[in-house]
Structure 1
Amino acid sequence: MPRLTQLYLAAASRHNIKEITVNRHYRYVMARPGTIQAQIANLPGRSRPPVIVQPIKEWKIHLGDLVIYNCYKYVGKMEGYRGTMVASETPLDYFSVALVDPSDSQPTDIQFRYTEAGDRVRVSKRTGRIIPIPAKALLNPDEPDPAKYTDQPKDTSVDDVGKKTFKIQYKSVEQDLMDKYNIVETRTRAKTYWY
């Protein structure tokens, strides 16, 4: 259940309201929900088509890439004047962002190709140059940077990691403990059957 519907249901139960109407196409705008500007943008009976999110099959933009936003909203366009840009807080569409080619600082579309060594690289469609993937994108955000990391006192050393200390033994836990503490068992275990 959407959060807005939950809030309406909670408010209705407090005021003993039986029937609730929720705008299915409620759109969040720059103003907070409940303010006059938000109510004007979402008047009753005004239905807008939902924002369709296209699935991204292959990410071409990575963390640390230089990109340009292609779609700006301008108001008051006239001949010889492009208009005034209006800032609007909306989700950023992946397809409205273009990667910047480092060779000439212009937006470009890319495709993936393979080098002679067999490495998969991004190549600019306009200039044909290889666009390297930034080092930031290759790092896991949960792990520290290996170049800047210094060993701590509780870290396991490289020599200890390479040692083989485990020996495979086909024993149960009880048999292992008995061997470790020199316990001799003269009784024989009865057979168990699982059905």
Structure 2
Amino acid sequence: MRLSARLLCKVGDLTKQYSNLPESYIKRSMEQVYYRYPKGIQYFKKEVKRRKYHFSEHRPWTAEFKEENAPRKQMKKVFLEPIREWKIFKGDRVEILTGDDKGKQGIWKVLNCQLKKIGWSKGFPGIMIKSEKPLLVTSEVKLVDPSDLNLKLYEFEWRFTESGEKVRVSLRTGRIIPMPHAAQETYDYKTKSTYKESVKDTKDEEVTEITYKPSHKNI
């Protein structure tokens, strides 16, 4: 079960966090520039590019995203309720409220799936694969209280602790709902503590090293 708003108006913060990629790289990988004025003082700094994109469950740097946003391809506009503050994260136990799997509980996989036939031809019947369909986090799923033995649904709100940490608190039990470990997962690692540095990674000592030397020289 892929917890997604199905269609977004921009690249979300959770997508950037999962990618663990610079925002400039994501912008370059998804943008479609048809014409860019040459460099020079006699030219304007203008470019002809696509302004509106169709955002679905595919990541902006994938081939599926480029296929959906192919040149001169128009997608049907879908109106959705904007999500001001994300409440459900990867790794949370939720319950489905609609569809064939209504009433089922799960973490984020296996539920709300559909079968697709690929590779069909005259001499080959094709292969059936199971793929997950997105669900609206605003109305189609709801969080399950992990501290309750009966796993009942609950409402919660964001609060701040005495130390200033922002946490989720259940309105029914008053307990703090911890953030799942899977929410820290990115494209490169499961958790920050288990990540192994490679040759191309910048060392912590080099990042924190102060190289700027102030001076009183006149320009």
**TM-score using structure 1 length:** 0.44
Instruction: Determine which structure has greater relative contact order: mean sequence separation of CA pairs < 8 Å that are 6+ residues apart, divided by chain length.
Output: 2
Higher share in helix: 1
Higher share in strand: 2
**TM-score using structure 2 length:** 0.40
